[in-house]
A and B are shown apart, each in its own frame.
Chain A
């Protein structure tokens, strides 16, 4: 794989009840998507402290995905 190719690091926060479940379903249905996302499961997006998002960027995330 070319190292020049655009390959951003994305950090995801997924709600256990909806988005995490949806990501499971995507797997069950074998939907293919780019492998750039690294996820953290939380029980609800209500748990998301804005500080987590800032810290994600500080750690070098090119984008933050939240799903809930």
Chain B
């Protein structure tokens, strides 16, 4: 968020409504109405005085109504933009013409009641709709006593209760009497999978957040008993099942598969009545009940659809298709996030990149015409000169000077060696202060700047920008934190806080004396990509990159493009999958920017982001041809294949041609044979998955089973289809198909691992015996066909993992850089990931992920160069003894060993270095220095620390 607030190329138009959208793709005009904040955003310093003085209370919407705030406020301290605003519905002046206490209180005179709504016309080439999700209907909540009993809360309210910034500062307390709850129940599927409120779909996120909230609540209070009432735990995402297991085995959370009928008041607490799978009823007392609410369509979905001219689906989410998941029905209008369908953070982040990629691919002639590029004066060389340090001590309004004696600290700084200019500053981050800093740098020929104010984490870039504007290298700057780390945390000890500030400034100046300018490093980029894998992920990525104007080479191991999708005949929504694949292959073959090598394998890759060189071996008949390809980025899309388990549910599979996989059944059903849909079929879910051969859930098998069951019923309505399952994970809109299958008479019978079905040979066929929980007895069947829903395994990730030095997880899938925030990037810079090699997932998600990975891969190619933070490590090759400790310890493969004059030497690959400093700390000959954090600088700080007593 902060990054978005700081980018010169993102203008945040907040407090604003979209009124209309005219024009055509590439040339839209959007009309936006900006509502007044009644506070001048440029002048507001977010000091918070106004909120302290505002006399009116109002319900705090950010805390889900569980706390109170004032009409003039900011939702939370880290909000972007960090500007307060006045809620006109509660402000005494705006409602009744009285009060105005805040106006004189504000020291920066930022409050302006004369502000009026303004209308703006924005010329844009494309629109991306990301309005998020709305809330489920009230009726879905009141059914469980919400609104009647204060201790029935929604999961979002519970989230706020757990949060340290929440209503009870992170303590979970009952709303009714503020006692700590000892027994908490979660009810799943509130407002989801519920035709009663017309939300037939599964919201896909509630199982995960309920697990998270339950585990966090357990951390807060290990004595607390927590029970989750559920229909199916849908933890189908990557590594989600493992988390569910942890919740059960380590956190001791109880899971009860039951439908909750009612929540009623009972004695001091609540009584929960429920019905279990076998039809028996039970009731249990709780202190608090949490409703795991689903995601509904945003409230203004209809309005946005009318403005944007696109269609909604039956649940009022944006309507899209399997093959173009992020394109609305209106050309030039795209969609990302929960508005496309309920989804979690990683998928939203993936969709964001993908939407950005496809929207800009079609506007590429406009690229760069709207962006602001800053230019700076040439830097003066400072290294030869003696340090001339300028020190500013910030008051931060009264945030610092209210506690710390700023003048005393300023005078103290003035006496230090090499300090030639010193002053205090009311707000050192303000625009006019930047101008003053620039003037003084010139006037006093300053070549180092120290600012004692707030945190470098938020403000260092701002001041470094000022230094650059003044012609100084941005590294010649040191920031001392006397607000967050001093005045704010020692508010009652002004003397000690002043002393601490003086010490910190002394340490900062000591470091500043030794700071050296660090060169801004950039590395040019080879503007092309290598894509490993020619399945749907690889081909989609190639087309997305080609749309951006970048050439790429697809390396496919087999003789044909298409990968696993070649075995697909139809899908759940009824799209023409073979037609889509054929079309995709044609487009790839026709595209002049895409080179395809089939029967080819990657042999070796060296280099780093922007400058890779790879050797690819192509087999042509009996001939082997080696190609050397230079490229800037790598996209890994090696795919997966169905797993053939040897054992299912703990027993050896009997040999019988009546046992097939879902994929084989699909091929049979898509054929022409008359008796292709047999009269009796038993499907076994999780065959070989979630415990047998594979530990994980393959995400797609439940949908595949429902798809084939529906197909059988379509061809042969009299067929008896029984699906034995552990949990049906038909998340999202697939829930509709699951319901449809049940309506059509497909029997879904759950099994548990302590009472699992038994398979055995019976003549040429096979027999299945299982426990039916509704009949409460064992059933034995000899179906015409036994269908195994087998999981997916990745294709040979081991080899590539070694070749590219990229990690895999315990299940052999490649491990992304950050599960939530960088889902399509690998930890090695310049390598990206999409498709089944990442984790099992359905076609639609693969397409989005491929578009996202291509968009991310295009970024360094668009920039044309890789910028390197100057704080990276540097090896002094004269001192280096070539021991290689650094190269083996580096977590980012950023150090390579070279032969220099026939001696082994280490060298940093600046583009890959993340500045952690592990290499420098371990170098036995001190040959490695960290830019901005050298041994000398840190030692000077330690020495200056020691000077506390020596004065």
Contacts and interface: CB of A to CB of B under 8 A. Distances in A.
Let me know if chains A and B touch directly in the complex, using CB atoms closer than 8 Å. Answer: yes
B543 interface: no
Contacts of A2: none
Contact of A47 (B77, B164, B492, B918): B918
Interface string B502-521: 01100100000000000000
B310 interface: no
Sorted nearest first, the 8 A-B pairs with minimum C-beta distance are A59-B946, A47-B917, A27-B484, A46-B918, A44-B916, A27-B488, A35-B496, A35-B490
B945 A38 contact: yes
Main secondary structure of the interface of A (DSSP, over half): mixed
Contact of A43 (B165, B490, B933): B933
Nearest to B921: A49
A58 B916 CA distance: 25
Contacts of B484: 23-24, 26-28
Interface stretch (B534-542, B572-580, B682-690, B935-943): B935-943
B497 A35 contact: yes
Interface of A: 1, 9, 11, 16, 20-21, 23-24, 26-33, 35, 38-44, 46-49, 52, 55-56, 58-61
Contacts of A49: 920-921, 935
A27 B483 contact: yes
Interface in B63-121: 77-78
Contact of B490 (A24, A32, A38, A55): A32
B489 A46 contact: no
B930 interface: yes
Interface of B: 77-78, 164-165, 455-458, 481, 483-486, 488-493, 495-497, 499-500, 503-504, 507, 871, 915-918, 920-921, 930, 933, 935, 938-939, 941-943, 945-946, 948-949
5 contacts: A20-B457, A31-B489, A32-B492, A39-B504, A49-B920
A48 B164 CA distance: 31
A30 B491 contact: yes
A42 B917 contact: yes
A23 B916 CA distance: 19
A60 B503 CA distance: 14
A57 to B, nearest CB: 10
Contacts of B915: 43-44
A40 B941 contact: yes
Contacts of B949: 9, 60
B942 A24 contact: no
Contacts of A32: 489-492
Given A24-B481, A30-B488, 14 more contacts: A9-B949, A16-B457, A32-B491, A35-B493, A38-B504, A38-B945, A40-B507, A41-B456, A43-B915, A43-B930, A48-B917, A59-B946, A60-B949, A61-B946
Nearest to B496: A35
Contacts of B486: 35
Nearest to A55: B942
A26 B165 CA distance: 11
A60 B949 CA distance: 9
Given A28-B484, A35-B490, A43-B871, A1 B495 contact: yes
A29 B165 contact: yes
Contacts of B507: 38, 40
A11 B921 contact: no
Given A30-B491, A32-B492, A24 B485 contact: yes
Contacts of B488: 27-28, 30
Nearest to B501: A35
Contacts of B495: 1
A55 B938 CA distance: 10
B945 A27 contact: no
B917 A43 contact: yes
Given A11-B945, A44-B915, A52 B939 contact: yes
A2 to B, nearest CB: 12
Nearest to A58: B946
Contacts of A1: 495-496
Contacts of B948: 9, 38, 60
Contacts of B917: 42-44, 46-48
Contact of A11 (B481, B871, B942): B942
B945 A59 contact: yes
A61 B920 contact: no
A61 to B, nearest CB: 7
B491 A27 contact: no
Contacts of B916: 43-44, 46-47
Contacts of B490: 32-33, 35
Given A38-B504, A43-B871, A59 B942 contact: yes
A47 B939 CA distance: 13
Contacts of B78: 28
Contacts of B945: 9, 11, 38, 40, 56, 59, 61
Given A16-B457, A40-B941, A47 B500 contact: no
A47 B921 contact: yes
B580 to A, nearest CB: 43
A55 B491 contact: no
Nearest to B922: A49
Contacts of B483: 27
